[in-house]
Amino acid sequence: MSGTAIADVGRALGVVAARDLHRQARHPGVLVAQGVQVLFFLLVYAIGFDGMIGSVDGLPFSAYVYPGIVAIQVVTLGVSSGLTYAFDREYGMLREMLVAPVPRLCLPLGKVVATAVLAGGQAAVMLAFAPLLGLPLSLVGYLGGVLAFAVVCVVFGLAGVLLATLVPQVQTLQSVVQMAMYPLLFLSGSVFRPDAGPGWLSAVMRINPMTYATDAIRHLLIPGHGAFPLWLDLVVLAGLTAVLATVLRWKVGR
């Protein structure tokens, strides 16, 4: 690919991402609703159960589950990007951009980039409150955590837009995403250790890709408290990203 072609692809990604971020900024109520959702999880899981459970591996329960609660929000954003991509493809600007002289893959990838930027911003705000729940972070840990959450959002954003290409009907896609979200989020070790439940539950959690994303982030923010080796988490996430990107390229680029 020539330098000019690369520049065109970069501009196309920037246009799609900037347009999506601008739309989000025009609807601050959505961001407020997402913040309330995170606050609910904090009150119920991090604070409400803190007195009942006490500590996990020497950490306050609120500190242990905090990375998982942020991961729930980030992964929800990523997977939901498929819904917004489907709406834009059917009713919005993406219909006109399909005839633009750029690779069609730029359209879903631009959506993923915008969602990752949004997730990184939300993670930056949420991690700033981590010390209040007993999870002190250094500047390097804080910045690394923000970057890690943005990368996780990219992985599950690819899953979301791929799902949107596999399920063309918007109404059907909404039902499929809703059906997939609860097991994806709550069988991921986000609010309890994946190796602490019954054998069958642990086995189910081991085939959930979000389990490894949550575990990798917990390794980063709370060193020594991961359930699996960090290398395993990274291998699973890298393999998943490669598969999702390859299948998406095949579906969109046909």
- Domain boundaries of the chain, sorted by first residue: 3-252
pLDDT of residue 72: 86
Q: What is the pLDDT of residue 234?
A: 92
Residue 83's pLDDT is: 81
User: Per DSSP, which regions of the chain are E strands?
Assistant: 55-56, 59-60
- Residue 43, C-beta contacts closer than 8 angstroms, at least 6 positions apart: none
pLDDT of residue 184: 84
pLDDT of residue 238: 93
First and final C-alpha spacing in the chain: 19
- At residue 32, the pLDDT reads 67
**Nearest residue to 158 (alpha-carbon basis) of 95, 101, 207, 116:** 116
| Vertex 187: Cα angle to 53 and 146 (nearest 5) | 85
Query: Quick one: pLDDT at residue 53?
Result: 66
pLDDT digits (tens, 9 = 90+) for 1-29: 555 656 666 777 777 777 777 777 666 66
> pLDDT per residue over 65-82, tens digit each?
888 888 888 888 888 888
Task: For the chain, list residues with pLDDT below 50.
Answer: none
The predicted structure's pLDDT at residue 27: 63
Q: What is the pLDDT of residue 188?
A: 84
